[in-house]
Structure 1
Amino acid sequence: MTAASARRRTLRTAADLLDAGLIPPDTAEAVERVARSYAVALTPAVTDLIDPADPLDPIARQYVPSAEELVTAPEDLADPIGDAAYSPVKGLVHRYPDRVLLTPLLVCPVYCRFCFRRARVGDADATMGEAEIDGALAYVAERPDIREVILTGGDPLMLPAARLEALLGRIGAITHVDLIRIHSRVPVSDPGRVTARLAGVLGGPGKAVWLAVHVNHSRELSPQAAAALSRLAGAGIPLLSQTVLLKGVNDRAEVLEELFRALVRHRVRPYYLHHPDLAPGTGHFRLTIAEGRALMRRLRGRLSGIAQPTYVLDIPGGAGKVPVGPDYWDEEAAAVTDPAGVRHGYPPD
């Protein structure tokens, strides 16, 4: 098989990656060991973005397994954001009073090497059955404080359009739910799935559906991804983005600036910049929070407000997300720091 033909199908094994020219032969054994613990999948849309000749390719770093994943740091956690402790019924996480996460399936078109659910995703048997969906939605229906249902996984846009439409309809029928949010990599990793039919399902009548697209580098916004985003925006679906701050991928201010500018051009509002979670085998992706704060400070004043995400940390153990971006206001001194780093008293003398 030629490298070109290997790249036209989803790559799932070390042999596949070797055939496609994405890993050197001397790493195949280590990559196969990684694949035994953590799911691997690269769609043709993703492999087309990778430059095999570039050992620092930011797309490859996100999706191609490496021996670094076999190293577990002392601070790594099997459940880094505390899903298990807040899961009252299968497939549902209730961490905040007004919203719940629903994971109808745990499969994705691609598997990110930094994923905080990396030990669970890829399990096709974890797809929720009808009885389990019934139980989760009954839980929501019985709690009027729940105003938002967030579909995540896995990737909810891997569901057949008809099944997704039925699920959205059932959630929308719960009177106290105001909106449905969907988190997905599909528009950038498998944009061909974003058909007119799917866009129509998401933008159809009923409760408002917001879509949070996971994208970490401007190169992921290929012409095909741009077309998928256009179909979604054209169907009236509000688009947000989530980005993970990753060493070797987007840990420079100019790279983040290019990404956020590209997103707003495609009618996607940058929403969160996540500090990476303490998932096992992902320490090689992590910067310090101080480094992340410095990057965000450099972006302030260079980007308009609609292109500025909130830099957040998901506190281990399930305590929730909090902003950890740079501070500009000094309460004690009654002074504010401008984007250039100059302090000003407020009100002025």
Structure 2
Amino acid sequence: MANETYPYQDPAQVSELLSSHKRFTSGGRGPWHAVSDSDWQDWRWQLKNRINNLDQLESVVPDLSDEEIQGAELANTKLSLGITPYFSNLIHREDPICPIRRQVVPRVEETVSSAWDMSDPCGEDEHSPVPGLVHRYPDRVLFLVTDRCAAYCRYCTRSRLVSNASGYGFQPDYQEQLDYIRKHPEVRDVLFSGGDPLLLS
């Protein structure tokens, strides 16, 4: 089991790997080396040029494991594959257990369901009085505005609806959400979430 999660056996190799995690190593802009600074720093350009499929992913992370290849092929059945060029640039190419790589590169294990799995581990749906609003605590609500993110984190606790890959059909009704809040003066805090609410800016 240890070999599956930590593939290095040689103590010197482990030491070198741990020490490399302490320093940031940029992969450069990779396939986007000719992109202008203004485009590279433009979030809209980053969204338009996201990595969304296996071919694109292999061009940036050429040494994908079999589990990652299968995960990328199956990603759109549960949680879409989406990595911005900037974020992909943070992946340590030679480290199969790079935390950022594990955060955004799908693995086939994601498609395995167990009897104890929960599609809604935070119990949000049962505390949703109107579509897109979660009212679990008396004085605050979670206001979901979108099911999209710039990059899809593989550990997302809202993967049932984020990216709509599994067909959740997220349809927030902003007016209904606002009306609910107006009718509940005990609500003092409104937390915007989704997906990434900044995508609506």
TM-score higher than 0.5 here? yes
Gaps of 5+ in 2: 1-28, 36-48
Q: How does 1:152-231 map to 2 (within 5 A)?
A: 152-160=193-201
Return the alpha-carbon distance in structure 1 between the equivalents of residues 106 and 129 of structure 2: 33
Higher mean C-alpha deviation, range 19-28 or range 37-46: 19-28
The counterpart of 1:5, out of the listed 24, 31, 34, is 31
Return the alpha-carbon distance in structure 2 between the equivalents of residues 139 and 19 of structure 1: 47
Partner of 1:102: 143
C-alpha change, 1:36 and 1:19, in structure 2 (3 Å) is farther
Instruction: Give, in angstroms, the shift of residue 33 of structure 1.
Output: 1.4
Secondary structure, in 3 states, of the residue corresponding to 1:29? helix
Secondary structure, in 3 states, of the residue corresponding to 2:56? helix
Instruction: Give, in angstroms, the shift of residue 75 of structure 1.
Output: 2.0
- 2:70·2:107 contact (CA, 8 Å) conserved in 1? no
Instruction: Give, in angstroms, the shift of residue 138 of structure 1.
Output: 0.9
C-alpha change, 1:126 and 1:140, in structure 2 (3 Å) is same
Q: Kindly report the root-mean-square deviation, in angstroms, between the aligned alpha carbons of the 2 structures.
A: 2.3
Instruction: Give, in angstroms, the shift of residue 25 of structure 1.
Output: 6.8
Return the alpha-carbon distance in structure 1 between the equivalents of residues 171 and 198 of structure 2: 13
Partner of 2:43: none
Return the alpha-carbon distance in structure 2 between the equivalents of residues 16 and 6 of structure 1: 12
The count of corresponding residues between Structure 1 and Structure 2 is 155
Deviations 1:19-75 (A, max 9, x none): 222552744234211332211111112111111111111110111111221222332
Larger Rg: 1
Aligned: 1:19 with 2:59: yes
Return the alpha-carbon distance in structure 1 between the equivalents of residues 194 and 53 of structure 2: 22
Return the alpha-carbon distance in structure 2 between the equivalents of residues 22 and 63 of structure 1: 15
Instruction: Give, in angstroms, the shift of residue 6 of structure 1.
Output: 6.5
Q: What amino acid is the match of 1:108? A: C
Question: Which protein has the bigger strand share?
Answer: 1
Deviations 1:261-282 (A, max 9, x none): xxxxxxxxxxxxxxxxxxxxxx
Return the alpha-carbon distance in structure 2 between the equivalents of residues 33 and 20 of structure 1: 19
C-alpha change, 1:86 and 1:147, in structure 2 (3 Å) is same
| Larger RCO, structure (CA 8 Å, separation 6 or more) | 2
- 1:86·1:95 contact (CA, 8 Å) conserved in 2? yes
Partner of 1:46: 87
Return the alpha-carbon distance in structure 2 between the equivalents of residues 87 and 51 of structure 1: 40
TM-score by length of 2: 0.70
- 2:71·2:110 contact (CA, 8 Å) conserved in 1? no
Secondary structure, in 3 states, of the residue corresponding to 1:15? helix
Partner of 2:189: 148
- % identical aligned pairs: 35
Gaps of 5+ in 1: 161-349
C-alpha change, 1:137 and 1:30, in structure 2 (3 Å) is closer
